[in-house]
Each structure stands twice: as structure tokens, then as C-alpha cells.
Amino acid sequence: MPRSQQQHMVPVQTMVDEAIDFIRAHEPPEGYFVAFSGGKDSIVMLELVRMAGVRHQAFYSATGIDPPEVVQFIRNHYPDVKWLRPKMTFWEGIRRHQPPFRMRRWCCDVLKKDPSKHIPLKSRCVGIRAEESVRRAARDRIDHAKLKQILFKPIFDWREWHVWDFIDGLGLAYPSLYDEGFDRIGCIICPFLCGKNTARIMRHKNRWPGSYRVFEKVVTDWWLNYRTEKQKKLYPEQCPEDYIRAWYRGFE
């Protein structure tokens, strides 16, 4: 039986015990940096770190374009998590670079990764699961990143049902957006929401119209005033409205 199928059948408590052993086995003397987003996977991961009784500090990279429901959830339920803020806003980044694409996601570095560069804790616990994507599954459970950081993934082999059973079993709070059918509660505006089928990005646009009005205004400003000559040749749409529609479709 393939390993992925074996993991699917493993009881939750077995996964919990293994994850705690994993966390304890790799505990660094200075403690872990725990990356916390307010999503279900990071909720589970932080709880496991706490259960393991290891030294740690949890950090939230406040991107400025997270769902307000998630931001308020973190404020209410995780007051001990430290907030990190980027030096550049998403809107400034669009004017300086361009709207992000799937393969050119400068926003992930600027808004999520760069704010934590000055934190000296190199051993970082992240709530990444192999089930989420082929690309993530191809990486190792202990992964070496830039700046000599080491990424530890305690719930790497967990299935989604493991995550929810753990949350329900302990009665842990989670953002209400999950109960409303949102399976992803990351950034409100993200190129991974785009595609020929615009249903996902339109759902976000209808839920948070104010953010999308700002987005379209800033993209229009970039189009009219900040595009480089190279960008003008790469994206020959006739007007900013055409470009925005093409962006929502993922340029497909």
C-alpha cells in the first residue's frame, strides 16, 4: 500500500504522538520560531508545540491583506502571538513592481518572509502539509531554507480530516470563515485565486469589495504611471480595465 494511503488510515492520536515526538526530538536550545497564520493548520501546529512543552515563540506576519475575520480571530484568541509587519504595503509593492503572478509572487517574500528575517531563531516550525500540493509533497519534512533557516513540518503527513478531528477533539477555536465554506483563508487578494474559472476570485471580491476597489484603483495607477517599457511590451492590453480582467483570469 502506498505511503500516502497508509497515512490516510492512521488514527489521529497516533499522528499527534508522532508529531510531538518529532517536535521534541529536534528542539533547538534557543527554541523554535513558530509561524502562525490563524489558519487551521497553524492552529494545530501551535497547539502541538505547546503540548510538546518545548521552548518557542509564535509570530504572525500581518500582511495587511488578510481577511479581517482572521485578523480579529488572532487578536481575540492568540494575544501572545507576536505581530510582524512588512516594510512595504501590498499597494506600494504593486506600484514598485507590478501585480503579482503565480510565478512572480514578490508579495510572499515582501509581506510574509522578509518581516521575520531579523528574528534570530533559525529553527522554524511551519504548518505545511504534503496533501496540499504536489510541490509541497516533493519537499522534505525537514527543509533547509534561505538565511540558514531550517523548516520543521510536524504535521507534514497529516490529512485534512486529521486536522479537523484534532481541532474538534480539543474544542479549539478557529476562524468562522471555514464554516462559511472558505477552504482557504490566506490573503484576500492572491494570484492563486485566479484562473479561467473566476468563481473563486469573484467570491473573494464579493465578500471583501472594499479591498478589491483599492486593488483595482492601485493597479490602474500602476498601469497609467509606473509601468516600465518592458512591462508595456509584455502586457499589451489596451486599457487598465482590460488588464485587470486578464489578471483575474490568470492571463489564460
How far is it, in rounded angstroms, from Cα 40 to Cα 132?
13
Tens digit of pLDDT for each residue in 233-244?
888 778 999 999
How far is it, in rounded angstroms, from Cα 38 to Cα 109?
19
Tens digit of pLDDT for each residue in 37-63?
999 999 999 999 999 999 999 999 999
Segment 142-169 mean pLDDT: 94
3-state secondary structure of 33: strand
Task: Give how far Cα 178 sits from Cα of 36, 47, 164, 200, 251, Å.
Answer: 17, 19, 11, 15, 29
The residues with which 71 forms a beta bridge, in sequence order, are none
The CATH architecture to which 3-180 belongs is 3-Layer(aba) Sandwich (3.40)
Tell whether the model's pLDDT for residue 26 goes beyond 80.
yes
Q: Are the CB atoms for 162 and 15 separated by under 8 Å? A: yes
How far is it, in rounded angstroms, from Cα 72 to Cα 81?
13
Alpha carbons within 13 angstroms on the beta-carbon side of residue 45 total 29
3-state secondary structure of 32: strand
Q: pTM for this one?
A: 0.91
Tell whether the model's pLDDT for residue 3 goes beyond 50.
no
Q: Are the CB atoms for 60 and 37 separated by under 8 Å? A: yes
Q: Looking at the chain, which residues constitute the CATH 3.40.50.620 domain(s)?
A: 3-180
Tell whether the model's pLDDT for residue 31 goes beyond 70.
yes
Instruction: Quote the Cα angle for 101-91-117, to 5°.
Output: 80
pLDDT level of residue 8 (50, 70, 90 thresholds): low
